[in-house]
Amino acid sequence: MSDNASNNLQDLQYFGEYGGVNPSISDSSTYTFISAKTMFDTFEGNTEGCYLYSRHSSPSNLYLGEALAAIEGTETANVTASGMGAITAVILQLCDTTDHIVSSRTIYGGTYAFMKNFLKKFGITTSFVDITDIDAVEKSITPKTKMIYCESVSNPLLEVADIKALSKLAKKHGIPLVVDNTFSPLTIAPAKLGADIVIHSLTKFINGTSDCVAGVVCGTKDFCLALKDVNSGAGMLLGSTLDSLRASSILKNMRTLHIRMQKHSENAKYLAEKFEEDGLRVVYPGLQSHSGHETLKKQMNSKYGFGGLLTLDVGSLENANALMEMMQDQKLGYLAVSLGFYKTLFSAPGTSTSSEIPMEEQIEMGLGDGLIRFSIGLDNDIKRTYEMMKACMLQLNILKKNTITV
């Protein structure tokens, strides 16, 4: 697969106000007009290159949006103040009261809670399905369904969605396919596989420094303009706007995304293979034993590997907590939610990022309380990291010499 995504990003060249190598940051919430008529036209959305008010749009946010559209291969993109700001705006833009959503059942806990609990206020209902079962997805579609929603690689179970097949289904029923691609930037380009709208939490790999929250909606010009409409746009009216200073720092960090993704994937694959050899219950889409391995291979850009996330089931919450605390003490990473940082992050999703999902549903989807989600960092010596992690597991009896206890 050619690497247009990264090349497109590399070719975006902006000059700052004084010829700087980074674009100038727009340090204003509001913008002047020489003519009152131009101000009116801008309100009506009829002027190109004019800015009105930074909740609507700002030069720094447009630069970042352009870079994200370049990697996702969409016409354009709107950046938002968080991933949830992107997800909620898209859903509320597409759904009216009493409408219906078909969603993967393994998605980020916040998205799940929004669909299951918050949307009740509007009478919007969601059928949560096994997204890898295309027949089940189709059976859940009703005349009220306004979208199929999934994550390309799901949080936290790392299920892989067959985006081409889902897109075919969505098109057959005349509804959009919305894909959250937070776990697999550059590895998967959902829009090129047929997704209509692609969302990211930029908070994760794309920014990569765990210093802010941000999000993006990548899509057609028409949809992104509709989100910004002053009378009816969910982006404009719900007001989840990214600050220009942050947009500018995320854009700079994005310049190294291609190198970081390769290293995250290389390190995660090494650990996953070693853990599997040790007989541990490891889930990683790059392992042949992973149920979505072939689907991912079919739709990925192999240059970026199988991603930086893996899960390890160590049997019980007690084991999980003890291991995470010990690994943090040994400076192997942080016991923290989130992902895509240069240090390894680990957390137990059942009691953190997926705790919004009721226990019986967690069990049904295979989310055991001994499950640890690892976002593998950019460690320079991953062999040493592995040896140190293994030593922790031996010390805690999670792993016994030659016998596995989990």
List contacts with ligand PLP (CB under 6 A).
82-84, 108, 110, 151, 155, 180, 182-183, 201, 203, 213, 215, 353
* Closest CB 110 distance from ligand PLP, rounded Å: 5
* Closest CB 153 distance from ligand PLP, rounded Å: 9
- 3-state helix, strand, coil split of the chain in percent (to 5) is 40, 15, 45
* Closest CB 211 distance from ligand PLP, rounded Å: 12
* Closest CB 150 distance from ligand PLP, rounded Å: 10
Nearest-CB residue for ligand PLP = 83
Q: Are 145 and 176 in contact (CB under 8 A)?
A: no
Residue with smaller CB distance to ligand PLP, 59 or 340: 340
Closest CA to 124 of 150, 95, 147: 95
Residue with smaller CB distance to ligand PLP, 241 or 353: 353
Buried b / exposed e across 55-77, counting CB within 10 Å, b at 16+?
bbbbbbbbbbbbbbbbbbbbebb
Residue with smaller CB distance to ligand PLP, 56 or 200: 200
Distance CA(327)–CA(94), nearest Å, equals 44
Residue with smaller CB distance to ligand PLP, 84 or 163: 84
Residue with smaller CB distance to ligand PLP, 93 or 385: 93
* Closest CB 14 distance from ligand PLP, rounded Å: 25
Distance CA(278)–CA(392), nearest Å, equals 14
Residue with smaller CB distance to ligand PLP, 185 or 233: 185
* Closest CB 180 distance from ligand PLP, rounded Å: 5
Tokens 């995660």: give the residue.
268
Q: Hey, how many other C-beta atoms are within 10 angstroms of the C-beta on 395?
A: 12
Residue with smaller CB distance to ligand PLP, 151 or 196: 151
Closest CA to 268 of 307, 303, 314: 307
Q: Which residues contact 36 (CB under 8 A, 6 or more apart)?
A: none
Distance CA(8)–CA(175), nearest Å, equals 29
Residue with smaller CB distance to ligand PLP, 192 or 373: 373
Distance CA(364)–CA(354), nearest Å, equals 13
Residue with smaller CB distance to ligand PLP, 22 or 253: 253
Q: Hey, how many other C-beta atoms are within 10 angstroms of the C-beta on 322?
A: 17
Residue 311: both structure tokens together: 């899960």
Q: Are 170 and 141 in contact (CB under 8 A)?
A: no
* Closest CB 127 distance from ligand PLP, rounded Å: 19
Closest CA to 119 of 129, 128, 131: 128
Residue with smaller CB distance to ligand PLP, 69 or 339: 339
* Closest CB 231 distance from ligand PLP, rounded Å: 26
* Closest CB 263 distance from ligand PLP, rounded Å: 20
Give me the DSSP letters along 118-153: GGGGGT-EEEEE-TT-HHHHHHH--TTEEEEEEESB
* Closest CB 181 distance from ligand PLP, rounded Å: 9
